[in-house]
Structure 1
Amino acid sequence: MTQKIYHTLVGQFVSLPFRKIIWIVPVAFTFHEMEEWNIMPWWLDHFSNATVISDLALRTWLVFITLIGFLWTGIACLLPTVRATGLMVFPFFVMIPFSNSLQHVYWQFTFEGYAPAFLSCAILNIPSVLLVSWHAGRNRLVNPIFLGTLFVLAILYLLGTILESQKEPAFFHEILTFSAWLADHLFGVT
């Protein structure tokens, strides 16, 4: 009985249109970014070379990257084929929400106490990206080598974070500097 229910659910999920299913990733990512809303004090406490920016600058980035996720997904859905949609969304999905989620999981188990955004990573981001990837693979929408390469790159980025240990992960300085610049240009303050 349980196996029949499982196969029914899997069959129903696999038959859902890919261009509808992919929206779960930017929605999950939105919850992740909301959970990071007050991450800056934690960030400054845990990284010896942390880039210091204002809460407004950080939150500007969080809203900006969330909007980019929805915009990226929306543009991908306008492409002429579902395969093209998959080829466009997966680099973003794997290298931004998934890769960053792996970092948060690592920080949760490395640093004492709660690592901001861990819950949304573990419950929403990682499962949603894996589910959409599984759906695309099961329906042969993207080449498994393409997807596998992206996941290997995400793991390599995590290894870089692990090697940095108590230092701000590579590329975050640029993201945070851009955040300060964006807040300054949008609001006149950083």
Structure 2
Amino acid sequence: MRLYGYISTKEELFDLMVDEVHAEILPEEQPGDWREVLRIRADRTRQATLRHEWLADLLGGRPTLGPNALAVTEATLAALDGLADLDTVMRAVETVSAYFTGAIRREIADLRAERATGLSKLDWQRAYGPHVSRMLATGRFPALAKAVHDGTEVDAEASFATGLDWVLDAVAAKLARPPA
């Protein structure tokens, strides 16, 4: 309660906490390549969220306006400055941010579920495998059956990196097009 003598609301406290973590997200040096800037932002946000899981609940909400968050936004926008019109740049940043926010939230949700149930991913698969096998054996889910039987298992970091590459490739294609 003593804290509320300095901070008016819980939301203000959250804003201060999120801004403090943005200091961890801001790279020490600004790379020259826009792709690298966005990749570093995504990777550093993921790493910061893995250290501070509570951040996952606050990602993607209203903008944080503290000095560290504004510095991250400035560095991001500066890296894309001049590559396209401002609206295209803003959509590109929003798209990349939406990807990494969703991917990070999913990863943190998986970690929380693992702790809550006490089941690792492998333990969960073993426990629910018989049910999934019975459902797939009905023939009603051929695409899912193929994914389960033939798909490659990748860890969260590899999945994150692959998805980010795909999103960055899509943004690059959009930035390469002349404005309509």
TM-score (norm 1): 0.31
Question: What's the TM-score once normalised by structure 2's chain length?
Answer: 0.33
- Greater Rg over alpha carbons, structure: 2
